[in-house]
Amino acid sequence: MPIELPPCDHTPSPYSGPSKAELLERRKAVLNQGIFLLYKEPFMPVEGHMQYLWDETGRRYLDCFGGICTVSVGHCHPEVTAALSAQAQLIQHAPTCYLHPTVVEYAEKLAATFPDPLNRVYFVNSGSEANDLAILMARLHTGHHEILSLRNCYHGGNAVGMALTSHHTWKYAVPPMPGFQHLKAPHPVWGPIPYDAPDAGKQYAEEVADLIKFGTSGKVAAYIAEPIQGVGGAVPYPADYLTHAYAHVREAGGVCIADEVQTGFGRTGTNFWGFQNYEVIPDIVVMAKSIGNGFPLAAVVTTDEIASHMTGRIHFNTFGGDPLAMAQGMATLDIMLRDNTMALSKTIGDQLIAGLTLLKDKYPVIADVRGSGLILGVEFVQDGQPASAFTADFFERCKDHGLIVGKGGLHGSVIRLKPPMCLTPADADFLIEVFSEVLSELS
């Protein structure tokens, strides 16, 4: 019996473009050969509406990956589309060397979501670029050079992003940039210290103090961490880990950077920013993906003091603060705040965690259900090893049942859930039903 998707009143337009087979050939011939396709039979979504996608045959899917954690308030949310179209009729490009109201209004609204003293906003076009800027700021501000990031992190694909990232699968064999080191990181399944051990966070953070002592001059520019590692497989840290890690870094003259590219904008359900779940305040915050609901938009938010060092030279970014991006970002943020998508993330996330935990009790292959709100991970382990082949099969079968999810972790053994923050309880029930069915098929 097919598992029924919840009803939806959107009718997709008929697709009349090139066939999947033709497109595959043409794509192979002309695009970057390094890009990958998820799924043995490639997935070709040609229309999206809120939490749903339609492929070229008109089949509907529930999207629980959001284009890799990017579609935040819903595919083609009508109000976001209207705001973008309205801006496109007026003026599409106006660089920050002219005055334009939207960039100021949006920066004010975005800054208002942060605790003091985080109040200076820089707009750029991607998460990688935002991290590059954050590292520059940290070095200018501190006068130090060394940057510490966590093993199993992902921070981007440009030179700085790749240097920060700690997954061999995303790093090319070119001479590494100097000044980047990777810390052993907490992990609830593979880490040496169980998360419920007393002082787990403090113990994991000892690694920060050690690396500073043994691997640097004793002074560092910055420490960067995702509040929940995204690409690494939805990995949160023990509650007080960041408090201790930040203290060690600040003692060594460094600043602390939170990469909120996946965790920001209320997705964790408990706070608007992921760092707030750990009761720390970073010095620099990086955001992308959800910020633009699919538009190439990213930002860095920092303090007046750190930002003041950027005045030493001209700083300019052609599309940073562009009216189109600002209109899309502002409409997205307005919807998040008005509809309280953070509270929705919490409610639906709790429903999913409850359903997934029941499945974990039934199927020992599920080693861990983790995360918070609508950034969740389900880790599969077989014979004490990451169950990569099982996860790949699970992932394929979800699609066969009309459910799009993500896959992550270095060994591809974690199913990642990062849907648009407009999932309904019926969608969550559908997801659990599909998971249950696929687990029974594979058992």
Binding site for ligand PMP (CB under 6 A): 126-128, 131, 154-156, 161, 226, 230-231, 259, 261-262, 288
3-state secondary structure of 63: strand
CB nearer ligand PMP, residue 166 or residue 216: 166
C-beta closer to ligand PMP: residue 292 or 386 = 292
Residue 14 near residue 58 (C-beta atoms within 8 A): yes
Nearest distance in Å: CB 410, ligand PMP:
14
Amino acid at 345: S
Which residue's Cβ lies closest to ligand PMP?
Answer: 127
Nearer to ligand PMP, 224 or 387 (CB): 224
CB of 157 to ligand PMP, least distance (A): 6
CB 326, CB 106: distance < 8 Å: yes
Residue 151 CB, nearest approach to ligand PMP (Å)? 14
Looking at beta carbons only, is 154 or 430 nearer to ligand PMP?
A: 154
Nearer to ligand PMP, 161 or 191 (CB): 161
Per-residue exposure over 71-90, b if at least 16 CB sit within 10 Å of its own CB, e if not: bbbbbebeebeebbeebeee
For ligand PMP, the closer CB: 365 or 410:
410
Q: Which two tokens stand for residue 178?
A: 């100097």
List the beta strands (DSSP E) in 189-230: 222-225
- Taking the complex as a whole, the smallest distance from the CB of residue 133 to ligand PMP amounts, in Å, to 12
- Is the backbone of residue 321 left (phi > 0), alpha (psi -120 to 50) or beta? left
Query: Would you call the peptide bond into 117 cis, given omega within 30 degrees of 0 as the criterion?
Result: yes
CB of 165 to ligand PMP, least distance (A): 8
Amino acid residing at 105: E
Closer by beta carbon to ligand PMP, 63 or else 226: 226
Q: How far is the CB of 203 from ligand PMP (least distance, A)?
A: 25
Q: Which of 43, 25, 26, 27 is nearest to 35 (CA)?
A: 27
Give the separation between CA 252 and CA 221, rounded to whole angstroms: 8
CB of 126 to ligand PMP, least distance (A): 4
Q: Minimum distance from CB of 389 to ligand PMP (Å)?
A: 24
C-alpha closest to that of 4 among 302, 402, 360:
402
Between CA 416 and CA 397 the distance in angstroms is 15
Nearer to ligand PMP, 5 or 69 (CB): 69
Six token digits for residue 81: 């589309």
Could you give the CA distance from residue 58 to residue 8 in angstroms, rounded to a whole number?
13
Length of the chain: 443
